[in-house]
């Protein structure tokens, strides 16, 4: 059979397979109002169909399916001179669409640079500016993918964790941080909130979310902080499972991260290799339970962290460890979905060349290679390893089979934008946000402030200060520019020097640990700085609502809640 004939049969087979697929994954739970309607499961097994397709793909198409780089530009086909230069350096092309066609990509990650984002070091550009722009971008990316011999839709992902790691911050449903969700402690509220957020992402054409974070934090939160649901493995597992169910009910693949657990580290894996010093029993009981819970909930993907897991494979980053991925994750935990690396442009992965890192990651058991620092070099390294026999072709076929099976189950392109950030979806986010507000010191009922009130904030957080000011006034509280009862806001990155000695009320908008150093007679935590969080806070301060939250992490000298 000629190569062209084989490619044609491959395309026909995949088009036939896709024709029987749902645009959204079958939902295990009732849909949120305004969410995509779940359909019946396809009659044929997606894994069997995916295996048949993968077995017929040529080497370059197989390699392309395991690559998931980023690209420069807010459009698939029209980019600025600066974005063109970035794409040329990264992949030797001008536009994202050209990158997809040249490398026959299986996926692309959308990124957004923000100076106050702890993951900003791996995101040198921004291509997420507004819902309409993202919708047009993903449509263009999927159009480019349709022309490939494989014919499969792209996996289009992003890191929409909510809280400090949020790629698109306006025009879509905004959830509070994971730690806020942990403080609310209501799995049904969690599921509905993540279903609402997932429905918005699906409408924009994002079918993979690199969330939820399944890390269990220890000590003073380490480098993960409010990205985690909390410090108790069982409670974190409950919230992780609920988030997975909500997100995937909307047709978006959920990704547990950072396996086998980044929460007990104080080193940032973006810049160096953190060491997990726990013995195996402690790892099993303290870090792995949320991953087990997420797997039990049907999580489609797991991201492995650049972590030195001394109890399993000392000195080798987990991303490149067969003992961690194949023996533990696949063998002992039984995960059958797609394993994706953390970004390969992070320091622990860059100890090897892009081609060598790509091959090592695949040999360890990864399926999808995220953000290689040089796309062409990564592809060539994999091709060379295939041709020499170092990388068995079946190892690559197995990964592509899992990737294609996932594509057969989830939505492939952007959808209806009319219900994005709808009142029903905002209400789901607002419910869990309000349930998170916690009193750590002070009264548990009635008004916590009496006018006039002034609102101050550390590090010029003018937006949060304005939101809280407006919400207090709407709740009937008199607010002045200076004087009166001072309500002081602190947030991500703040230290003891950012506290106010004259504040009657201090509010933690990120992790609550800093509140242990505050002398304010009233201490509250929202764990988030969204507009919904400021509205919920205002209602508690005005006495219009109670604070039902309970800190999901221990805070020195303070109770989990002053209200029992």
Catalytic residues: 342
> How many Å apart are CA 304 and CA 257, to the nearest integer?
6
Residue 410 Cα distances to 154, 178, 403, angstroms:
11, 24, 11
Hey, how many other C-beta atoms are within 10 angstroms of the C-beta on 456? 16
Beta-carbon contacts of 392 under 8 Å, excluding residues fewer than 6 positions away, are none
Residue 510 Cα distances to 25, 328, 480, 525, angstroms:
33, 33, 25, 8
Number of H helices, E strands in the chain: 18, 15
CA-only gyration radius of the chain, Å? 24
- DSSP assignment letter at 315: T
Comparing CA positions, the residue from 153, 147, 144 lying closest to residue 65 is 153
Under a CB-based contact definition with an 8 Å cutoff, are residues 464 and 432 in contact?
A: no
> How many Å apart are CA 155 and CA 502, to the nearest integer?
51
User: What is the residue whose two structure tokens read 């004939």?
Assistant: 5
Helices (H), 263-392: 280-286, 289-296, 322, 354-364, 375-388
> For the chain, what's the residue count?
564
Under a CB-based contact definition with an 8 Å cutoff, are residues 270 and 323 in contact?
A: no
């Amino acid at each position: 059979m000629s190569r062209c004939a084989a490619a044609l049969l491959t395309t026909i087979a995949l088009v036939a397979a896709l024709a029987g697929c749902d645009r959204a994954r079958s939902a295990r739970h009732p849909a949120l109002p305004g969410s995509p309607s779940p359909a019946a499961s396809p009659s044929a097994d997606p894994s069997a169909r995916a295996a048949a397709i993968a077995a017929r793909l040529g080497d370059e198409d197989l390699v392309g399916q395991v690559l998931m780089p980023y690209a420069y530009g807010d459009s698939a086909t029209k980019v600025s001179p600066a974005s063109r230069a970035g794409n040329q350096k990264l992949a030797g092309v001008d536009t994202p669409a050209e990158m997809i066609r040249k490398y026959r990509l299986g996926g692309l990650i959308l990124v957004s640079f923000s100076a106050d984002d702890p993951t900003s070091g791996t995101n040198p550009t921004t291509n997420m500016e507004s819902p309409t722009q993202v919708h047009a971008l993903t449509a263009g990316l999927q159009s480019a993918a349709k022309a490939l011999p494989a014919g499969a839709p792209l996996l289009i992902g992003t890191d929409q964790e909510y809280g400090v790691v949020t790629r698109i911050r306006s025009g879509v449903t905004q959830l509070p941080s994971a730690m806020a969700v942990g403080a609310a402690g209501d799995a049904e509220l969690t599921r509905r909130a993540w279903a609402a957020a997932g429905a918005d992402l699906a409408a924009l054409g994002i079918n993979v979310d690199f969330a939820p974070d399944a890390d269990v934090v220890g000590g003073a939160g380490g480098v993960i902080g409010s990205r985690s649901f909390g410090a108790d493995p069982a409670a974190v597992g409950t919230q992780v499972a609920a988030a997975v169910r909500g997100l995937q009910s909307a047709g978006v693949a959920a990704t547990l991260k950072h396996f086998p657990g980044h929460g007990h580290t104080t080193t940032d894996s973006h810049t160096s290799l953190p060491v997990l010093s726990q013995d195996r029993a402690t790892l099993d009981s303290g870090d792995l339970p949320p991953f087990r819970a997420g797997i039990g909930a049907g999580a489609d993907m797991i991201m492995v962290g650049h972590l030195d897991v001394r109890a399993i494979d000392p000195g080798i980053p987990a991303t490149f460890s067969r003992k961690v991925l194949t023996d533990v994750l696949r063998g002992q935990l039984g995960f059958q979905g797609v394993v994706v690396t953390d970004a390969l442009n992070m320091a622990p992965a860059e100890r090897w060349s892009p081609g060598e890192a790509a091959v090592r990651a695949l040999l360890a058991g990864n399926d999808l290679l995220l953000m290689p620092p040089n796309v062409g070099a990564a592809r060539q390294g994999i091709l060379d390893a295939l041709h020499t026999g170092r990388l068995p072709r079946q190892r690559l076929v197995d990964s592509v089979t899992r990737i294609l099976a996932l594509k057969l189950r989830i939505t492939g392109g952007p959808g209806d934008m009319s219900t994005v950030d709808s009142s029903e979806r905002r209400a789901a986010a607002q419910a869990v946000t309000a349930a998170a507000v916690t009193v750590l010191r002070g009264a548990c009922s009635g008004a916590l402030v009496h006018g006039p009130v002034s609102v101050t904030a550390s590090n010029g957080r003018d937006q949060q200060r304005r939101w809280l000011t407006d919400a207090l006034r709407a709740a009937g509280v008199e607010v002045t520019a200076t004087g009166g009862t001072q309500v002081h806001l602190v947030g991500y990155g703040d230290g003891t020097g950012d506290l106010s000695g004259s504040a009657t009320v201090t509010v933690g908008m990120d992790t609550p640990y800093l509140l242990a150093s505050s002398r304010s007679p009233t201490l509250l935590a929202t764990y988030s700085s969204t507009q919904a969080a400021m509205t919920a806070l205002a209602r508690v301060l005005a006495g219009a609502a109670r604070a039902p939250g309970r800190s999901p992490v221990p805070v020195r000298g303070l109770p989990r809640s002053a209200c029992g």
